[in-house]
Amino acid sequence: TRVTALLPALGNLHSHSFQRAMAGMTEHRSHGQDSFWTWRELMYRFLDRLTPEQIEAIAAQAFMEMLESGYSAVGEFHYVHHQPGGQAYDDLAELSGRIIAAAAQSGIGLTHLPVLYSYGGAGKTPLTGGQLRFGNDLERFAKLVESARRTIGAQLDGDARIGVAPHSLRATAPEQLARAAETFSAVPFHVHIAEQTREVEEIEAWLGATPVAWLLANLPVGERWCLIHATHLTDEETAALARCGAVAGLCPITEANLGDGIFNGLDHLKGGGRFGIGTDSNVHITLSGELRQLEYSQRLRHRARNVLLAGPGSLGQSLYLQAAAGGAQALGRDAGRIATGALADLVAIDRNDDRICALSPAQIVDGWVFAADDRLVSHVWSAGRHCVKDGRHVARDAIAARYRKAVADLVASL
């Protein structure tokens, strides 16, 4: 294998893999104004048809595409636990097992994040409709996590790990979150926060504080925490998030697709804040595209160029290395750098490609992020597993064939 440029590979810190099969299905406007909330209802109806076999096939396809885009690992924020209607499978962690099997097929480094989802909305409203597939109280959730942990140990290499993900303040409750933080005190801890203005307003009306303000005041938020989206923050909340050491889990393409808003990136970085990137809804799986969308959103917000860089230098390289470090931290993965003893999470890009062949070594990442796309990726290793060779996943044909059958059957049932 001849490599012309080698970089530490990024971890994708936030994915709902099953939504990969919905990509392109929700861009048709309905009556009235579409929003995150109308999209969510469509998503619930979609997932009510998914079988365990389809979930596994879709996840394997998504993981394969992530690897081909240059990601070496993924944090799978997994909240579909039960059968349609809410009845548990005989194996409580059946669907976690399907995600783990998909990771084994693709070779991606997995931080599996089973989701605690107990309520339908702020104020402990009951679960309804599609949410019934998600529901657990804390006791049953702990059993599910332990079962998934055993499956990971039996089926995946030693770089795989488990974390937990209370879905959000609106899907849990204050006392439950505090108990979860205490019970799972030594693993990655991810939570959706302040994605939508309606969510912020509902939490403030219920708890007397905005989601981020409440979280930082009441729970031990620190370096093992990842706050997903954190889109609607005050200046004071932005500064506090930066100080606490948690990672802001940014998903710029999904956040744009859903009309969420724009993260306060400039102030977060000025305060020394950490961030990583995720593909979330997987509407478009691209590493370079997420970083490009992140920076371009800031340019539109501030009407300036090269915003997310404190001083002179390569913006692309700075964004990339910060995202690599933040992603590794959020996934609890010894990666994000090329160093003796670290995991061999590596990506090679083709410096001879026409789109970047005129660039100097110092400009290569700028070229990848802003002038080209992920077709530059030639090889990817995840913890030394050589998953992508010459731009193609080593198991692409088999994974894609299973995916095509799964989605054909799924579409026929809709």
Average pLDDT over residues 113-133: 95
Q: Which residues pair with 15 in a beta bridge?
A: 76, 280
Q: Is the pLDDT of residue 40 over 70?
A: no
Q: Is the pLDDT of residue 185 over 90?
A: yes
Q: Is the pLDDT of residue 28 over 90?
A: no
Residue 246 DSSP symbol: P
Q: Is the pLDDT of residue 199 over 80?
A: yes
Are the C-beta atoms of 288 and 323 separated by less than 8 Å?
no
What is the residue whose two structure tokens read 């889990």?
A: 249
Share of the chain above pLDDT 90, in %: 88
Q: What is the pTM of this model?
A: 0.96
Q: Is the pLDDT of residue 79 over 70?
A: yes
Residue 153 DSSP symbol: H
Residue 44 is predicted with a pLDDT of 75
Catalytically active residues are 229, 280
Residue 406 is predicted with a pLDDT of 94
Q: For the ranges 40-49, 64-73, 197-206, which has the lowest average pLDDT?
A: 40-49
Among the listed residues 14, 61, 15, 71, the one whose alpha carbon sits nearest the alpha carbon of residue 377:
71
Average pLDDT over residues 212-223: 97
Residues 270-284: tens digit of each pLDDT: 999 999 999 999 999
Are the C-beta atoms of 82 and 133 separated by less than 8 Å?
yes
Which band of pLDDT confidence, cut at 50, 70 and 90, is reported for residue 377? very high
Residue 42 is predicted with a pLDDT of 75
Q: Is the pLDDT of residue 335 over 80?
A: yes
Q: Which residues contact 153 (CB under 8 A, 6 or more apart)?
A: none
Average pLDDT over residues 316-335: 98
Residue by residue, DSSP assigns 274-301 as EEEE--BT-SS--HHHHHHHHHHHHHHH
Q: Is the pLDDT of residue 57 over 70?
A: yes
Residue 166 is predicted with a pLDDT of 98
The span from the CA of 162 to the CA of 395, in Å, is: 25
Q: Is the pLDDT of residue 414 over 80?
A: no
Residue 45 is predicted with a pLDDT of 77
Residue 278 is predicted with a pLDDT of 98
Phi-psi region of 108 (alpha: psi -120 to 50; beta: other; left: phi over 0): beta
Residues 218-243: tens digit of each pLDDT: 999 999 999 999 999 999 999 999 99
Average pLDDT over residues 49-59: 94
Q: How far is CA 328 from CA 21, 128, 252, 286, 353, in A?
A: 27, 35, 18, 18, 28
